[in-house]
Amino acid sequence: MVRIADVARMANVSTATVSRVISNTGTVKKETAEKVLEAIKKLNYQPNMLARQLRRSETETILVVVPDITNTFFSAVLRGIESVAIENGYQVLLGDARNNVDTETSYLTILGQKKADGLILLTARTDQKILEELSHDYPVVLACEYYEGTQLPTVSIDNVSSARKATEYLISLKHKRIGHISGPLNVVVGRDRCKGFHQAMAKHGLSVDPSLVQEGEFSFESGFNLMMKFLSLEEPPTAIFAGNDEMAMGAVKAAKSKGVRVPEDLSVVGFDDIKFASIFEPALTTIAQPTFDMGQKAMHLLLKIINDEELEKNQFILSDKLIVRNSCKELTIDG
């Protein structure tokens, strides 16, 4: 292992001078710097980052915890985070919570251990208190998911209004018997999208049949199963708002398996606009979240916190968009 002392010896200078050359302080004479650079090259020297990080007490690494890395929605957000991180000399440590709260929480210790300078959470299922305390001591930013009534820096869309928008789209297509396959209600975005659904229904004077609201778990399978349940109802819904695209696809699949055509017999709208939403048949009408932008914004925020800069505000709501494709159709009397 080549150390800074080896370089210093070869270049006939002190380690301090070598260090100055490396960190480009501009206080080293040109010829000296050249000697040092040459020695570095000759020895193929690379600074030991652990030593530097210990001394400077900074790692230039940030931790990102995602609920489920196999969901392309999150990997798209990750892309946004990574782009800004790399641009600013930061590396990304990934924690995949695998949809498990305890796994999620266990990643938080990494901050205390000084293995990362900051944290971006794409999932907010850990106890709110714990996280708020953590954020007193370390830079933390939430993205996509969030807590209610918190001062934690957050970037997300307004899930309630998006869900309302999605539901109202179905209402505008004359649907009245609209079902909702929600995400898990112990995660905010599941709750908020459910809330938006109810708001839209109420706003248009439509009653919600409790049996038409079922709690899924953001997976294809849960969407499939819950749709099956709906279909076995005496009076099945004519439209479904699903809490995310995977569940929407599951619902469509279930319908098809029962000979129910989408969109002719059943309209479905999803949420997230994942990569596959447009490939799916029928192409999914869904709410597109600005994944890349959210990632970028979250990382920019985190950088500000790390650098002790003032935040203009704590909650950033980015705008989503209803993408109309082919999974919905206006309701006609005979169906």
Partner DNA sequence: ATTTTTAATGTAATCGATTACAATAAATGT
Partner DNA sequence: ACATTTATTGTAATCGATTACATTAAAAAT
User: Interface with DNA by CB under 7 A: which residues?
Assistant: 1, 3-5, 12-20, 22-23, 27-29, 31-33, 45, 47-48, 51-52, 54-57
Task: Please state the separation of Cα 176 from the chain's center in Å.
Answer: 32
Q: Which H helix or E strand runs over 111?
A: helix 109-112
- Residue 237: CB atoms within 10 Å: 24
* Cβ-based nearer residue to a copy of itself, 93 or 206: 93
Q: Is residue 42 involved in binding a copy of itself (CB under 8 A)?
A: no
> Per the structure block, which two tokens stand in for 205?
């004077």
Least distance between DNA and beta carbon 31 (Å): 7
Residue 333 touches which of a copy of itself, DNA, none (Cβ within 5-8 Å per kind): none
Q: Which residues in 61-100 contact a copy of itself (CB under 8 A)?
A: 61, 69-70, 72, 75-76, 78-79, 82, 91-96, 98
Residue 279 touches which of DNA, a copy of itself, none (Cβ within 5-8 Å per kind): a copy of itself
Q: Is residue 57 involved in binding a copy of itself (CB under 8 A)?
A: yes
Q: Would you give the DSSP letter of residue 211?
A: G
CA dihedral 295, 277, 162, 142 (to 10 degrees): -20
Question: Closest by alpha carbon to 242, among 220, 264, 210, 211?
Answer: 220
Could you tell me how many helices (H) and strands (E) the chain has, helices first? 13, 12
Which string of x and - marks every residue 213-252 that binds a copy of itself (by CB under 8 A)? Answer: -------x----------------------------x---
Q: Is residue 279 involved in binding a copy of itself (CB under 8 A)?
A: yes
* Cβ-based nearer residue to a copy of itself, 59 or 167: 59
Q: Is 1 helix (H, G, I), strand (E, B) or coil?
A: coil
- What is the spatial distance between Cα 334 and Cα 238, in angstroms, rounded to a whole number? 12
Question: Closest by alpha carbon to 49, among 86, 13, 91, 11?
Answer: 91
Residue 100 touches which of a copy of itself, DNA, none (Cβ within 5-8 Å per kind): none
Least distance between DNA and beta carbon 137 (Å): 14
Residue 315 touches which of DNA, a copy of itself, none (Cβ within 5-8 Å per kind): none
* Cβ-based nearer residue to DNA, 134 or 194: 134
Cα dihedral 255, 259, 261, 266 sign: negative
The answer to whether 86 and 142 are in contact (CB under 8 A) is no
Which string of x and - marks every residue 108-147 that binds a copy of itself (by CB under 8 A)? Answer: -xx-xxxx--------------------------------
Q: Which residues contact 308 (CB under 8 A, 6 or more apart)?
A: none
Size of the site for a copy of itself (CB under 8 A): 40
End-to-end CA distance of the chain: 75
Residues in contact with a copy of itself by CB under 8 A are 46-51, 53-54, 57, 59, 61, 69-70, 72, 75-76, 78-79, 82, 91-96, 98, 109-110, 112-115, 220, 249, 253, 275-276, 279-281
